[in-house]
Amino acid sequence: MNFSTYFNPELSQHFTEDMVIRNLTAKTQIDYVRALNRLCEYLKHSPEDATREKLREFQLFLVEDGATGTTINCILSGLRFLYNVTLDKPQLLTKLITVSVARKLPIILSLEEIKLFLATAAHPKYHAAFSVAYGAGLRVSEVVSLKVSDIDSERMVLRVEQGKGSRDRYAMLSPALLDHLRHWWLFANKHGQMHREGWLFPGLNPINHMTSRQLARVCTTTAKDAGINKKVSMHTLRHSFATHLLEAHVDIRVIQVLLGHAKLGTTALYAQVATNLLREVISPLDALENKDKTKDKDKS
């Protein structure tokens, strides 16, 4: 990780060690370093010498510079780690305020759109990867990190190691998904693209797995080639998995486990986009009018 030149080597080392001690993920560590580098670019000196007022001005600068609420909160997380943990100066954070972020409803593909999307993914590798994202509800980082040994065809589960929150879990492996994965396995072995004990979705160099960015890029291109006008991402496939299960009347607590959500409230969001469920609900207005019609019919 590259720290700003305003970070002295000792501070950089301590900050890195503090993140390692707390077992922060590689992505979180990178985000924190980027956040502090941005602070240094603004201050033009070491963050050790910052004041509460300067940190407040920095947050104001981020807002005026057009940073999103999500970006600002990510930067604030990095600053809190530096001043709470590494520098032990929590008093400098009193004027920093977490920004409320509007929660948008996820984009969902219909069953017909999913079918079209998968059919457009001609290469067996991408077809299988997209099938895992939709058929098991995995995050893109979880898809690309799968190993061949993670497929348990006897118990019909996929082992997901160190998913979000550094938690291991099992995901569902349906017969249809297993067929897609077997097709990809046969193709990859025939063309020397996969090691028997290696990654399920290897990159150009089979020693490394395919990157999340590469798969996300192919996902966007595939949706465009399929003529789907919605903004489709890898997470769209995961959202669609959860929504379609909910519409099929699968218990929401089961869906929570399959998705690896820590809180049921996160899973409950899909109830707002499960349109089939909404159509099944009888409005009290309809119930009232139906009752009146029944009365009129009885009178006649």
Q: Percentage of the chain surpassing pLDDT 90?
A: 63
Does residue 277 register a pLDDT over 60? yes
Candidate list 95, 164, 183, 195, residue with the active-site label:
164
Quick one: pLDDT at residue 163? Answer: 57
Buried/exposed code over 210-238 (b: 16+ C-beta within 10 A; e: otherwise): bebebbeebbeebbeebebeeebbbebbb
The per-residue pLDDT for range 24-60, each reduced to its tens digit, is 888 899 999 999 999 999 999 999 999 999 999 999 9
Is residue 179 domain-shared with residue 256, that is, in the same domain?
A: yes
Is residue 66 domain-shared with residue 133, that is, in the same domain?
A: no
The sheet carrying 151-152 orders its strands as 151-152, 157-160, 169-172
pTM of the model: 0.72
Per the annotation, the verdict on 32 as an active-site residue is: no
* Helix (H) / strand (E) containing 241: helix 234-247
Is residue 68 domain-shared with residue 190, that is, in the same domain?
A: no
Domain CATH number, residue 28: 1.10.150.130
Per the annotation, the verdict on 127 as an active-site residue is: no
Per the annotation, the verdict on 139 as an active-site residue is: yes
Domain CATH number, residue 218: 1.10.443.10
Quick one: pLDDT at residue 247? Answer: 87
Per the annotation, the verdict on 191 as an active-site residue is: no
Residue 267 tokens, joined? 């899973």
Residue numbers of the domain that contains 270: 111-278
Does residue 203 register a pLDDT over 80? yes
**What mean pLDDT do residues 65-86 have?**
94
Does residue 260 register a pLDDT over 80? yes
Is residue 122 domain-shared with residue 80, that is, in the same domain?
A: no
Candidate list 180, 238, 239, 244, residue with the active-site label:
238
Candidate list 38, 125, 139, 209, residue with the active-site label:
139
Task: Tell me the pLDDT band of 237, cut-offs 50, 70 and 90.
Answer: very high
In sequence order, what are the residues at sequence separation of 6 or more whose Cβ sits closer than 8 angstroms to the Cβ of residue 197?
Answer: 147, 148, 149
Domain end (from 58, 93, 128): 93
Does residue 292 register a pLDDT over 70? no
